[in-house]
Amino acid sequence: MTSEGKRKAISELEIGEEILTSNEDGSLTFSPVILFLDKDPDQHHQYFVIETESGEKLTLTPSHLIYAHVVEDGDEEVLEDAFQSVYASYVREGDFVLVTRQGQLKPSKIISIETKIMQGVYAPLTVSGNLVVDGTLASCYAVISSQGLAHTAFAPLRWTYNLGRIFSSQALKQEPRSVGVHWYADFLYSLAKNILPKSMLR
């Protein structure tokens, strides 16, 4: 959902366009798309289609982060502040994700998870570090298991974007090499493989 009230496919988003995201306090806001961490319309990839009790369907890769409450034995209630970022492959039927309801994020139970091979890979990065896709809140990040660590690591891109917005409209244009993994994301992943525990990587 854009700030102009239009629904757009992720593949159609433009750099600088503001889309629905979430603040750190859980309130909904609009945040600009800085760039695409990955973009390849021809690539085929395995996806999970996560369907919720309230009717949302979110499609994302297994290594993508999603905000979820993983239900453990003895759980009696689901609180908004109990949600953490986890790999999509980690959630199961009966767990909860955050969906938009009347301008707020609310828990909704996962009722089914389907695996599909689909064409096209798109990973937009917003200033907020997350985005609402088909009514469900998801992270912009993948591969590294910590939302906080990933968001901190990508801070230089946010600074560059904000400075560029102040001094030049060129910052709102996509880089010439617009297909494939962004060079900064590729660099960070290579660095992470050397310094982070394997348990934090996918």
* DSSP string for residues in 93-146: TT-EEEEEETTEEEEEEEEEEEEEEEEEEEEEEETTSEEEETTEEEEEEESBS-
What are the residues facing 107 on neighbouring strands?
98
**In-domain check, residue 1:** no
Which tokens belong to 78? Answer: 């689901």
Q: In terms of residue numbers, what domain contains 191?
A: 10-200
Q: What is the pLDDT along the chain (202 residues), one digit of tens a residue?
A: 999 999 999 999 999 999 999 998 899 999 999 999 999 999 999 999 999 999 999 999 999 999 999 888 766 667 666 799 999 999 999 999 999 999 999 999 999 999 999 999 999 999 999 999 999 999 999 998 899 999 999 999 998 888 877 665 554 454 544 688 888 888 888 887 777 776 676 7
Q: Do residues 52 and 78 touch, judged by C-beta distance below 8 A? A: no
**In-domain check, residue 2:** no
**In-domain check, residue 4:** no
pTM assigned to the model: 0.87
- Of 139, 120, 128, 119, the C-alpha closest to 179 is 120
Residue 174's pLDDT is 47
Q: Do residues 22 and 38 touch, judged by C-beta distance below 8 A? A: no
What are the residues facing 136 on neighbouring strands?
99, 133
**In-domain check, residue 45:** yes
Q: Where residue 21 sits, what CATH number does that domain have? A: 2.170.16.10
Residue 171's pLDDT is 46
**In-domain check, residue 3:** no
* Structural domain count, the chain: 1
Burial class (CB in 10 A: 0-12, 13-18, 19+), 25: exposed
Q: Report phi then psi at 170, rounded to 5.
A: -60, -20
**In-domain check, residue 5:** no
CB atoms within 10 A of CB 196: 15
Residue 168's pLDDT is 59
